[in-house]
Structure 1
Amino acid sequence: MRNYYSLFSVFLAAVLLADCKTSRVVTGKTVAVESAGIESEDLLTCCNAGLKLPDGSPVSCEASAVLYDNGTVYVANDKDMPTGLSPVFTKSWNALSDSLTRPTPLLAEAFRTAQKYEDFASNGEYIFLTTAFDRVKPGSTDWDGYNTILYWKKGQEANPQVLAPEPGAKNSVAYRQPLSKLLAQNRPNYPNGMPYFKVEGLAVMDSLLLFGIREEGEKYDKFDYRVRIVAVPFFTEKTASGDRLSLRNTWRIVADFNPATVPGLPQPLALSSLEYDSKRKLFWLLTSIEANGQLDAYLWTATPEQLFRSQSFMLVRDAQGQPMHFNHKAEDLTFIGTDRLLVIHDDDRTPTKVGAQTRQPNQAAYTVLKIRTTDRTHGL
């Protein structure tokens, strides 16, 4: 694999791999976000209106993951789709809001068998897509598809691979145990691992995967909201059938952030997306709330130094100094060019408004932000 490491990320990787506590000073540039403002809002039509699943229930477009790459927008729905379609599809950026231009489904078996997608990530060479890891059925493989991480080299989306310890695996359920044990550290109530958790964020920094945890607790209806971030390195293996990625067994909790430390925001806010912006050397975080019919979300940033030291994320504000927020359950973000940010929303079955339009079940709302940033030099 090509090596994109900066001095700082080499240092961070060494810390994670060796569990080292040595410090060193590196001078470099980071970017501070001055403000963000809404440039446009619209609706993405995911499929034909009135489409139904085999059981007769209507198809719901609950877009939870988005990635822009060279004029193409990748979208993943966290709900199942009928035969012949896929919860993962692409659409041209120039036709994103065109309701007459249908998306192109990605029909590889791996896309159609995994369930409940949550986040895309890319390091410029590989694209990754994770599910929620929020359910497993003891003694059965029925729900193993909810525990899947897919990856492929850019331009090779017709051949997605499953990230798993063993070649040929159909899912990544084997990674659920180390993640569960890690999240249960220092939690005496869970000696066998965290029974329930939900992954909603995925970022990749060079050769580190970072998972954002939104929920954890006893079970799906008894949990606490979280903004916790887990990092694990990955590496490339040469095989007879081509390059294969694997994870090292060095999982670490690198950040545990409480949005309630910022006064005036609704609670409980929890993580809904995590992305690494290699151009600006910034992590971007979405937190959202979905309670009693209220949908809202907020945007944050952190330098790698801040994130890996578990310092507070910085709230992004608009030009008037007010918190940048969305009247939607923002689920994922991706950059369009240098200073525009596309944010996709998963409003579930709520008929939210976008201007004069009311979102229909086969549609997803999205927002395009204009970002203003400034360069800063710092010592690490």
Structure 2
Amino acid sequence: MSRAQVLSHGTLHCFPAGLRDERDRLVNAEVSAVVYDGRRLILASDKPVPGHGRSPVFAVDIDERGIPDDSSLTYFTADAIVRATKYEDFALTADGQYILATTGFDRIDDASHDLNAYNHLLIWPLGEPQRVQVVDPDPRDGVEGSLELRAKLDAAIGTPYYKIEGLAAIPGEQGDGLLMFGVREQGNAHDDFEYVCRIVGAHYRITAEGNLVFLDELRSLYGFEPGVHPGVNHVCGLSSLEYDPYNHRLYLLTSFETEEEGMGRIGGYLWMISLDELAAGHEPDLVCDEQGETLVFEHKAEGLAVIDETRLFVAYDNDRHLGLGSIDERDERHACEAPFTLLAMRE
């Protein structure tokens, strides 16, 4: 049985309090992606953060406890990073030298390029976001987005509609590694889908120019049904993938948003599987708390980062829900704040 100890909870200021968009609506922090680059946490909101010098992607230092210092917040403002919309997950390449970022790929306009911003896989060298490149772009000059990759995802997933929410790179047998995309939703349309926990992917290598190329076709790699586990009481879908290079295993986050007795409920679960078990198609282990009960996050767990051999950083995307529950003595967060949890794995 895998167990996790909660080390701390908190909230992170992602932009100035009271920030409003061009329609004079209060901007809400919706952190859906996080990765630790060995020095800083890099996070992303799946909604734009307006204003000159701001971006939905930003970095913060952490102290020796793993707590983020929002006074160190730095936005990543390269054109390609600001232009991409609806970030859903980050990953380090298997060699730890590059950052990868994916959007949701959950919408496209076949008649125009108006929605291309939702279809991006980006890569940049560690510590050099200004050198960002788009992975697998449309071969036509001037067309932004990873549209060639979208066609490959279409073929691998096999449904008209899908949503990508996970990204991880693990060591592979060819080239630099195996890149995995986590699928959360799939079906006929954005209002006609099922929640799933599915992984598709392909082997890749990094070119001399610092971009990523696929070495084989994207294909189904793994899937599981959370609901068959007796500790899971909610319908949920995959919300993040994270490779743990210290222990050679993969973490999977699942989250849920349900209506119960007329009230909305959000939350999530944490799962773990070794790379050998993953390759063999075994079921992942559902992580428990220190008492051996299922660890159930009271917020919608959407981002996961491995800090070191034992510690994990969990970021929450609660959408417009402002309640803080037990993670803070305040009743509500400010719209500019993102809640988080630090965990330590105990085996």
Larger displacement relative to structure 2 (227-236 or 89-98): 89-98
Residues 231 and 294, structure 2, Cα contact 8 Å, conserved in 1: no
The CA RMSD measured in Å over matched residues stands at 1.7
TM superposition shift of 1:334: 0.8
Corresponding residue of 1:5:
none
Indicate yes or no: 2:152 matched with 1:203. no
1:307 to 266, 278, 285: 278
Residues 138 and 146, structure 2, Cα contact 8 Å, conserved in 1: no
Q: Residue deviations 1:296-338, cap 9 Å, x none?
A: 1110001112222322111011221111121000011112232
Residues 45 and 97, structure 1, Cα contact 8 Å, conserved in 2: no
2:145 to 166, 171, 174: 171
1:180 to 144, 154, 160: 154
1:362 to 304, 326, 336: 336
TM-score by length of 1: 0.82
Please say which structure displays the higher CA radius of gyration. 1
Indicate yes or no: 2:66 matched with 1:132. no
Residues 138 and 144, structure 2, Cα contact 8 Å, conserved in 1: no
Corresponding residue of 1:271:
238
Larger displacement relative to structure 2 (161-170 or 213-222): 161-170
Corresponding residue of 2:258:
291
Counterpart secondary structure, 2:117: helix
The code of the aligned residue for 1:161 comes to Q
User: What are the residue-to-residue correspondences of 1:306-325 with 2, within 5 Å?
Assistant: 306-325=277-296
CA distance in structure 2 between the aligned counterparts of 1:340 and 1:96, rounded to whole angstroms: 11
The code of the aligned residue for 1:355 comes to D
The unaligned stretches of length 5 or more in structure 2 are: 172-176
In structure 2, the CA distance between the partners of 1:98 and 1:126, relative to structure 1 (3 Å rule), is: closer
Indicate yes or no: 2:35 matched with 1:77. no
Indicate yes or no: 2:320 matched with 1:349. yes
Corresponding residue of 2:73:
103
CA distance in structure 2 between the aligned counterparts of 1:198 and 1:324, rounded to whole angstroms: 25
The code of the aligned residue for 2:110 comes to P
The code of the aligned residue for 2:220 comes to I
CA distance in structure 2 between the aligned counterparts of 1:217 and 1:258, rounded to whole angstroms: 16
Residues 255 and 309, structure 1, Cα contact 8 Å, conserved in 2: no
TM superposition shift of 1:248: 2.8
Residues 344 and 364, structure 1, Cα contact 8 Å, conserved in 2: yes
Residues 328 and 352, structure 1, Cα contact 8 Å, conserved in 2: no
User: What are the residue-to-residue correspondences of 1:1-380 with 2, within 5 Å?
Assistant: 34-84=2-52, 85-94=54-63, 101=71, 103-122=73-92, 123=94, 124-164=96-136, 170-184=144-158, 194-206=159-171, 207-238=177-208, 242-292=209-259, 293-353=264-324, 354-357=327-330, 358-373=332-347
Larger displacement relative to structure 2 (309-318 or 194-203): 309-318
The code of the aligned residue for 2:56 comes to P
CA distance in structure 2 between the aligned counterparts of 1:56 and 1:174, rounded to whole angstroms: 36
CA distance in structure 1 between the aligned counterparts of 2:211 and 2:226, rounded to whole angstroms: 37
The code of the aligned residue for 2:123 comes to Y
CA distance in structure 2 between the aligned counterparts of 1:149 and 1:331, rounded to whole angstroms: 18
The code of the aligned residue for 2:82 comes to R
CA distance in structure 2 between the aligned counterparts of 1:61 and 1:360, rounded to whole angstroms: 9
TM superposition shift of 1:158: 1.8
